[in-house]
Structure 1
Amino acid sequence: MISVTGQSNLNTLPMSPYLNRIKPWVTVICTSFNHEAYVADALQSVIDQDYPNVELIVIDNGSTDATASRIADFVAKHPAIQFIQNPTNVGLNRAFNQGLALACGRYLIDLAADDVLLPGRISRQADLFERLAGPYAVVFSNAVYIDREGKKIAVHYPVDEQGRAIEKIPSGDVFRQLLESSFISTPTMMMRRDVLQELGGYDESLAYEDFDFWVRSSRLYQYAYLDEVLMQKRRLPDSLSAQVVLPDNRLLASSLAVCRKALDRCRTPDESHALAERIRRFVRKAFYAEQFKLALQFGGLLHQIEQPGLLTELVLGMSRLHVPVNGLYRKYIRWHYSKQMLPHRNRMHSPFAALG
Structure 2
Amino acid sequence: MPLPRVSIICLCYNHERFLKEALDSALAQTYPNLELIVVDDSSTDNSPTIIDEYCRRFPQISFISTGQNVGNTKAFNIGWRASEGEFIIDFATDDVLLPDRVEKQVNQFLALDKSYGVVYSDAAYIDDHSNFLHLHSQKYKPSLDADVFREVLKRYFICPPTMMMRREVLEELNGYDETLAYEDFDFWVRSARNWNYSYLPEITTKRRLHHNSLSAKYYTSDGKMLRSTLEVCQKAVKLLRTKDEKTALIQRLKYEIRHAYLTNHFTETKQFLKLLRDITPNPGVISQLITRLSNSEISLSFIRRLYYSLRYGKS
Which band: TM-score by shorter chain?
over 0.9
Alignment TM-score, normalising by the size of structure 2: 0.94
Q: CA deviation at 1:240?
A: 1.2
Mark the CA change 1:141 to 1:73 in structure 2 (over 3 Å): closer, same or farther: same
Mapping 1:62-101, distance limit 5 Å: 62-101=42-81
Partner of 2:100: 120
Cα distance in 1 between the residues matched to 2:62 and 2:136: 31
Equivalent position SS for 1:258: helix
Partner of 1:321: 296
Cα distance in 2 between the residues matched to 1:262 and 1:193: 22
Q: CA deviation at 1:87?
A: 3.1
- 1:202 pairs with one of 164, 172, 176: 176
Mark the CA change 1:272 to 1:200 in structure 2 (over 3 Å): closer, same or farther: same
- 1:135 pairs with one of 100, 109, 115: 115
- 2:197 pairs with one of 203, 220, 223: 223
Partner of 1:37: 17
Equivalent position SS for 2:26: helix
Cα distance in 2 between the residues matched to 1:140 and 1:229: 10
Cα distance in 1 between the residues matched to 2:44 and 2:164: 30
Alignment TM-score, normalising by the size of structure 1: 0.84
Letter in 1 for 2:288: E
Q: Is the 8 A contact 1:273 1:305 kept in 2?
A: no
Letter in 1 for 2:297: H
Q: Is the 8 A contact 1:245 1:288 kept in 2?
A: no
Partner of 1:22: 2
Q: Is the 8 A contact 2:223 2:268 kept in 1?
A: no
Cα distance in 1 between the residues matched to 2:33 and 2:88: 12
Partner of 1:105: 85
Partner of 1:309: 284
Cα distance in 2 between the residues matched to 1:336 and 1:218: 35
Aligned CA RMSD, in angstroms, stands at 1.9
Partner of 1:180: 154
- Percent identity over the alignment is 41
Partner of 1:15: none
Cα distance in 1 between the residues matched to 2:257 and 2:305: 20
- 1:222-261: CA deviations, max 9, x gaps? 0001111111000112321221222513100000000011
Instruction: Report how many aligned residue pairs link the two structures.
Output: 313
Mark the CA change 1:289 to 1:240 in structure 2 (over 3 Å): closer, same or farther: same
Equivalent position SS for 1:157: helix
Q: CA deviation at 1:158?
A: 3.1
Q: Is the 8 A contact 1:137 1:222 kept in 2?
A: yes
Q: CA deviation at 1:317?
A: 1.3
Mark the CA change 1:93 to 1:324 in structure 2 (over 3 Å): closer, same or farther: same
Letter in 1 for 2:177: D
Q: CA deviation at 1:338?
A: 5.9
Letter in 1 for 2:292: G
Partner of 1:295: 269
Does 2:242 match 1:268? yes
Cα distance in 1 between the residues matched to 2:260 and 2:143: 29
Partner of 1:11: none
Q: Is the 8 A contact 2:88 2:166 kept in 1?
A: yes
Mark the CA change 1:247 to 1:81 in structure 2 (over 3 Å): closer, same or farther: closer
Cα distance in 1 between the residues matched to 2:207 and 2:303: 25
Letter in 1 for 2:95: D
Structure 2 unmatched runs, 5+: none
Letter in 2 for 1:220: N
- 1:189 pairs with one of 163, 174, 194: 163
Structure 1 unmatched runs, 5+: 1-20, 160-164, 341-356
Q: CA deviation at 1:294?
A: 1.6
Cα distance in 2 between the residues matched to 1:317 and 1:32: 43
Letter in 2 for 1:105: G
Cα distance in 2 between the residues matched to 1:126 and 1:112: 20
Equivalent position SS for 2:218: helix
Q: CA deviation at 1:88?
A: 2.2
